[in-house]
Amino acid sequence: MRVGYLGPRGTFSEEASLRYFEGQDVDYHMYPSILDVLDAVQEQEIDFGVVPIENSIEGSVTMTLDGLSKDPDLFIVAEVVLPIEQNLLANVGTLVSDIREIWSHPQALAQCRDFIRGLGARGKAWDSTASAAAEVAASGRKDVGAIGNSWAAKKFGLVILQSNLQDASENHTRFVVVRREEKALSDADKSMLLVTLNEERAGALVHVLNVFAALNLNLTRLESRPTRKKLGTYQFFIDVEAGWQHDHLQKAISVIGTFGHQVRVLGSYRKSKKI
Ligand SMILES: O=C(O)C(=O)Cc1ccccc1
């Protein structure tokens, strides 16, 4: 089975993939961006893609949400929640006080905003934490550092100047495992829906939410993203504690449909246990 994730070696996405597929016969493929992973699933270059979707400090990975909403063939079949420990990585001989720039993935920079400001350094965005680490190593510079996984330090010959430096000690990222065709798992106990309202009218969202409440369906997340059609218009990503085949969820989807709104099931899977 072919599994793709955001590379190069040493990303948090790699860690999530290895943990989720541990013990299985897997041929791993790395891609330079999250959108490339989703495209590769869509084009069936790989069977599964593993992408980050949400972080406890910084919130949604908007690139993933937008990629999922754009592509009607993608389906989430699992989630993996990983503890994230951010580290300051640098070339041997670098002093923390000499660091002027910190390179990393935007999610990692955001998780360490206070730390970076405290150093008086500037952040610079790369496609992944590990690509930032690789670039720091290749540059040989002693006035830059990278923020990332301790695995990346080993892979690129960097030293860890400081560990566990994210702005809140509790730091978890939820990754999702995506495949192309729908595969409804009979033991799924959680689903992700994408609701697009057909009109803007007072109470439209409340009516949708009331359907879930009336059917005793617990919502664990509600995230809005712009429709990209007009300022002030949104789509809603809704996580529900019920498998896709659950009677109540089927009923909710059909009732919301009768209101004229669009509902797409983005995935259905078993709730992750924290690793
Ligand atoms: O860049 C990485 O290592 C990723 O896998 C994306 C990411 C960045 C920060 C936290 C979790 C995932």
Band (pLDDT 50/70/90 cuts) for residue 16 is very high
Could you give all domains of the chain from N- to C-terminal order, each with its CATH number? 2-84+171-179 (3.40.190.10), 87-162 (3.40.190.10), 190-269 (3.30.70.260)
pLDDT tens, 45-77? 999 999 999 999 999 999 999 999 999 899 999
Q: Specify the residue with its C-alpha closest to ligand 1, atom 7.
A: 12
The pLDDT score that the predictor gives to residue 187 is 84
**CA 122/CA 99 separation, integer angstroms:** 9
| Residue 173 CA, ligand 1 centroid: distance in Å | 8
Band (pLDDT 50/70/90 cuts) for residue 270 is very high
The pLDDT score that the predictor gives to residue 158 is 98
Tokens standing for residue 256: 């919301």
The pLDDT score that the predictor gives to residue 144 is 98
From the candidates 11, 64, 173, 212, which is the catalytic residue? 173
Q: Specify the residue with its C-alpha closest to ligand 1, atom 12.
A: 12
- 103 Cβ below 6 A of ligand 1: no
Instruction: Answer yes or no: is pLDDT of 274 > 90.
Output: no
Mean pLDDT score of the chain: 94
CA-based torsion, 85, 89, 93, 95: positive or negative: negative
Band (pLDDT 50/70/90 cuts) for residue 233 is confident
The pLDDT score that the predictor gives to residue 275 is 54
The pLDDT score that the predictor gives to residue 184 is 67
**Can 173 be counted among the known catalytic residues?**
yes
From the candidates 21, 156, 175, 212, which is the catalytic residue? 175
**CA 184/CA 76 separation, integer angstroms:** 10
- 102 Cβ below 6 A of ligand 1: no
The two beta strands, 190-196 and 234-240, are antiparallel
pLDDT tens, 120-147? 999 999 999 999 999 999 999 999 999 9
Q: Specify the residue with its C-alpha closest to ligand 1, atom 3.
A: 11
The neighbour count for residue 202, using CB atoms within 10 Å, is 7
pLDDT tens, 172-202? 999 999 999 876 677 899 999 999 998 777 7
**CA 86/CA 250 separation, integer angstroms:** 41
The pLDDT score that the predictor gives to residue 272 is 85
Q: What DSSP assignment string belongs to 98-130? A: G--EEEE-HHHHHHTHHHHHHHT-EEEE-SSHH
- Regarding predicted confidence, which is higher, 156 or 274? 156
pLDDT tens, 70-127? 998 999 999 999 999 999 999 999 999 999 999 999 999 999 999 999 999 999 999 9
- 128 Cβ below 6 A of ligand 1: yes
